[in-house]
């Protein structure tokens, strides 16, 4: 068994879900609210989890997590948490379900509105204690199982970040077998989320050499060892699935030093609820544009990233990512995802005030964001 020596000591193992009863006991949960989505229900993962719970546990199910979690969905899940007298939360699914679970964990122990706890509203210090949370990822992308962050679309339409050490899940079960049924396109999008986390974390101007080292290892797993391509082409490749889940976890460990403009733009696009855009896919599509924008402002970091990819130091990283996106079947640009020129002013304003902007190596102004969106739309 692999167990990472991190804050919440995530368990990493094929078949690790079998340990769920033991893990729940260790963090004091008896009546969990399981935050998940219909897709997880349909492919049988929820039923599998319930069959592994011993009789001492009484789970309640919330399976209405949207593709991009909303404050409305959080409030609905919170009401269920209170009505059923739950004492903890299981986030089962991709980053959306785990992020929604984190938001419920905040509101289960705090008064007020969720927006008050966002970074944009100075909410980090307001988060003083949360309901116990077990994270069980079923994708390999967000790393939400080890991160202290959550991203939620608020009632006013803004997609905002909640961040606090209190939001690191109390425990995490990382079972790569849960990703075996993930279809190729979602595997690709989630994998690009992990890769973008590693790259943007390294490029952040914040000084944290250990975090950068972890990010470089994640890049090596995703790209140099071709685990993303292997997982996309053969979803039953267990070694590739294990390495991609590890890379996703490493990406979140790395971005403790910050992310960048890719995420600022991705958050803005993801706030377009009618389009139901996948966060990781957005990151992959936007990444080449920001790599070109940041060029000349990152010291020798592009050379270090190229080295971890197994490429010559003079490689054009933007072109490398574009070629990877093509090989794994992602859209060529934002236009193919439904983003149009008419949206640029609103998207640019949203990106400008996103906290990720401030840890980009070159901070874009409003006009630069407008140009970046134009380039990413194609």
42: domain CATH number is: 3.40.50.1970
Tokens of 312: 């010559």
pLDDT at 7 over 90: no
Q: pLDDT tens, 238-281?
A: 999 999 999 999 999 999 999 999 999 999 999 999 999 999 99
Q: What is the per-residue pLDDT for 353?
A: 97
Q: What is the per-residue pLDDT for 6?
A: 72
Q: What is the per-residue pLDDT for 2?
A: 66
197 shares a domain with 173? no
Determine the structural domain holding residue 23 and report its residue range.
2-178
How big is the CA angle at 192 (ends 271 and 301), to the nearest 5 degrees? 105
301 shares a domain with 156? no
20 shares a domain with 42? yes
3 state DSSP class of 127: coil
Q: What is the per-residue pLDDT for 5?
A: 67
Domain boundary among 157, 178, 199: 178
| Confidence tier at 314 by pLDDT (50, 70, 90) | confident
324 shares a domain with 213? yes
Instruction: Report the sign of the C-alpha dihedral through residues 198, 202, 205, 207, in that order.
Output: positive
Neighbours of 12 (CB within 10 A): 18
Q: pLDDT tens, 191-238?
A: 999 999 999 999 999 999 999 999 999 999 999 999 999 999 999 999
Domain boundary among 178, 209, 228: 178
Q: How high does pLDDT run on average in the chain? A: 96
Q: pLDDT tens, 147-202?
A: 999 999 999 999 999 999 999 999 999 999 999 999 999 999 999 999 999 999 99
Q: What is the per-residue pLDDT for 1?
A: 58
| Confidence tier at 3 by pLDDT (50, 70, 90) | low
Q: For the chain, how many structural domains are there in total?
A: 2
217 shares a domain with 95? no
Q: What is the per-residue pLDDT for 85?
A: 98
Q: What is the per-residue pLDDT for 244?
A: 98
152 shares a domain with 33? yes
Q: What is the per-residue pLDDT for 206?
A: 97
- Rounded distance between C-alpha atoms, residue 230 and residue 140, angstroms: 13
129 shares a domain with 260? no
301 shares a domain with 217? yes
148 shares a domain with 237? no
**CATH code, 364:** 1.20.1090.10
Domain boundary among 162, 178, 194: 178
Q: Of all residues in the chain, what percent carry a pLDDT higher than 70?
A: 99
103 shares a domain with 61? yes
Q: Which residues contact 16 (CB under 8 A, 6 or more apart)?
A: 1, 173, 174, 175
Backbone angles phi, psi at 160, to 5 degrees: -115, 155
103 shares a domain with 202? no
Beta bridge partners of 150: 162
48 shares a domain with 154? yes
Q: What is the per-residue pLDDT for 324?
A: 98
């Amino acid at each position: 068994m692999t167990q990472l020596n991190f804050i919440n000591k995530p368990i990493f193992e094929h078949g690790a879900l079998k340990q769920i009863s033991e893990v729940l006991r260790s963090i004091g949960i008896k009546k969990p609210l399981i935050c998940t989505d219909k897709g997880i229900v349909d492919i049988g993962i929820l039923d599998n989890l319930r069959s592994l719970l011993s009789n001492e546990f009484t789970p309640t199910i919330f399976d209405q997590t949207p593709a991009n979690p909303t404050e409305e969905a959080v409030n609905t899940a919170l009401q269920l948490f209170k009505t059923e007298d739950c004492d903890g939360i299981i986030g089962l699914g991709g980053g959306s379900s785990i992020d929604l679970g984190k938001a419920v964990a905040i509101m289960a122990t705090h008064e007020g509105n969720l927006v008050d706890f966002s970074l944009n509203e100075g909410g980090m210090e307001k988060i003083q204690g949360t309901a116990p949370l077990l994270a069980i990822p079923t994708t390999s992308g967000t790393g939400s199982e080890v991160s202290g962050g959550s991203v939620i679309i608020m009632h006013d339409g803004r997609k905002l970040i909640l961040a606090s050490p209190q939001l690191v899940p109390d425990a995490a079960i990382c079972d790569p077998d849960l990703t075996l049924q993930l279809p190729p396109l979602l595997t690709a999008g989630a994998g690009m989320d992990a890769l973008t986390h590693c790259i943007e974390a390294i490029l952040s101007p914040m000084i944290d050499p250990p975090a950068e080292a972890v990010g470089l290892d994640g890049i090596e797993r995703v790209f140099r060892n071709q685990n993303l391509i292997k997982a996309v082409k053969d979803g039953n490749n267990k070694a590739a699935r294990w390495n991609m889940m590890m890379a996703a976890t490493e990406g979140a460990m790395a971005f403790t030093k910050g992310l960048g403009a890719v995420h600022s733009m991705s958050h803005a696009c993801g706030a377009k609820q009618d389009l139901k855009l996948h966060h990781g896919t957005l990151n992959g599509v936007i990444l080449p544009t920001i790599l070109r924008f940041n060029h000349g402002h990152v010291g020798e970091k592009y050379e270090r990233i190229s080295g971890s990819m197994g490429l010559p130091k003079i490689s054009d990283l933007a072109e490398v990512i574009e070629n990877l996106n093509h090989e794994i079947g992602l859209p060529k640009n934002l236009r193919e995802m439904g983003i149009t020129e008419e949206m640029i002013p609103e998207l640019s304003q949203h990106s400008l005030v996103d906290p990720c902007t401030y840890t980009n190596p070159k901070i874009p102004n409003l006009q630069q964001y407008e140009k970046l969106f134009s380039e990413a739309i194609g």
